[in-house]
Amino acid sequence: MTKRVLIVKTSSMGDVLHTLPALTDASNAVKDIRFDWVVEENFAQIPSWHFAVDQVIPVAIRRWRKSWFSSDTRAERKRFIDQLQLQQYDAVIDAQGLIKSAFLITRKARGIKHGLDKKSAREPIASWFYDVKHFVAKDCHAVERVRKLFAESLNYSLPKEIGDYAIANHFLSVLPKDNQQYLVFLHSTTRDDKHWTEDEWRALIKLIEPIGYKIKLPWGSAHEYERSLRLAKAFSHVEVLPKSSLAEIATILAGAKAVVSVDTGLSHLTAALDRPNITLYGPTDPKLIGGYGLNQNSLISPQKSMQTILATEVYEKLALII
């Protein structure tokens, strides 16, 4: 008989991606297990790429909270709860560990509810809403924490080998024709102090020019598009991509020879696609939430400032990959 499990992991992009290896572990350990997944609507494509996911249930808490009590939002929330409660689950795993996910989603799902205990959850009060509470140490990488939570919740031994996102094959059949002949530079992030300077990006682009690789620049907002245009100006080997969906960007990343990125969600997507990546870190520490997987490289500023990372340093690391 199929074992049906609901995952509650709504956001952010990196957190959603970090959950995928746990599904692979569980699928290898538990016969006939299948998953449904509650996720923020902006990231709803990601769970569908994993072979063990049957149904993706989009939620829109980020959008709803702007007009929580409007009639349209109330009606949309009711439709979401109705969909959530259609299925009786063997287990409900809240991998978010936040009050909002536990209170608004997990407690209303049908099934035995598993989650982190008060010593493990990011917001300890969230543990009040779980039937079974699990301790998972906070001093390990986010991917390993979720893998441990799933193993405890579904009663199997945690594999010793590195976690497998199991989504790279999803994109193999649609790789670009110029596969492996280009690099991708991910220059966009939400925090100003995680940005690398435009002067150093352009210096790196110039260093790449003589060796013949094209460079692709994805973007997601108007100001990111303008930055892409500035970085590409006067360089014939740089392409500013058109506005793209997450799946289209994933396809571009999957076909890249290598990627250079700042600390951003798309960097985690690169890791999930098993592409070689150099991620630049200033104020953030990659130990617990950095790139996880094969061929992931960190370049960390000792001064915790992106301003101190030089294009020549990045190029030296990149030359070892390409």
Per-residue pLDDT tens over the stretch 9-39: 999 999 999 999 999 999 999 999 999 999 9
In order, the DSSP letters of 255-302 are T-SEEEEESSHHHHHHHHTT--EEEEESSS-HHHHS--STTEEEEE-T
Mean pLDDT on 287-306:
94
Q: How many Å apart are CA 118 and CA 108, to the nearest integer?
A: 20
Mean pLDDT over 169-186 rounds to: 80
The C-alpha atoms of residue 26 and residue 50 are separated, in whole angstroms, by 12
Mean pLDDT of 276-287: 94
Only one residue has tokens 């923020």, namely 40
Residue 176 binned pLDDT confidence (cut-offs 50, 70, 90): low
Please check whether residue 289 is in contact with residue 17, taking contact to mean a CB–CB distance below 8 angstroms. Answer: no
Backbone angles phi, psi at 246, to 5 degrees: -60, -40
Exposure string (b/e) for 53-88, b if CB count within 10 Å is 16 or more? bebbbbbbbeebeeeeeeeebeeebeebeeebeeee
At residue 257, the pLDDT reads: 94
Q: What is the pLDDT of residues 68-102, one digit of tens each?
A: 999 999 999 999 999 999 999 999 999 999 999 99
Q: 203 pLDDT exceeds 90? A: yes
The larger pLDDT score, comparing residue 172 to residue 222, is at 222
Average model confidence (pLDDT) across the chain: 96
Nearest to 267 by CA among 67, 11, 88, 18: 18
Q: Which amino acid is at 321?
A: I
Q: In the structure, what pLDDT confidence band is assigned to residue 179 with cuts at 50, 70 and 90?
A: low
Predicted structure pTM score: 0.94
Among the listed residues 29, 85, 33, 274, the one whose alpha carbon sits nearest the alpha carbon of residue 165 = 274
pLDDT confidence band for 136 (50 / 70 / 90): very high
The predicted-structure confidence for 31-71, as pLDDT tens digits, reads as follows: 999 999 999 999 999 999 999 999 999 999 999 999 999 99
User: What is the reported pLDDT for 246?
Assistant: 95
- Cα–Cα distance measured from residue 120 to residue 106, given in angstroms and rounded to the nearest whole number: 17
Q: Is the pLDDT of residue 178 over 60?
A: no
Provide the pLDDT for residue 107. Answer: 97
DSSP-assigned beta bridge partners for residue 57: 38
Long-range contacts of 97-103 (CB under 8 A, 24+ apart): 97/121, 97/122, 97/123, 97/126, 98/122, 98/123, 98/126, 99/123, 99/125, 99/126, 100/61, 101/8, 101/10, 101/126, 102/126, 102/127, 102/128, 102/129, 102/130, 103/129
pLDDT at 174: 74
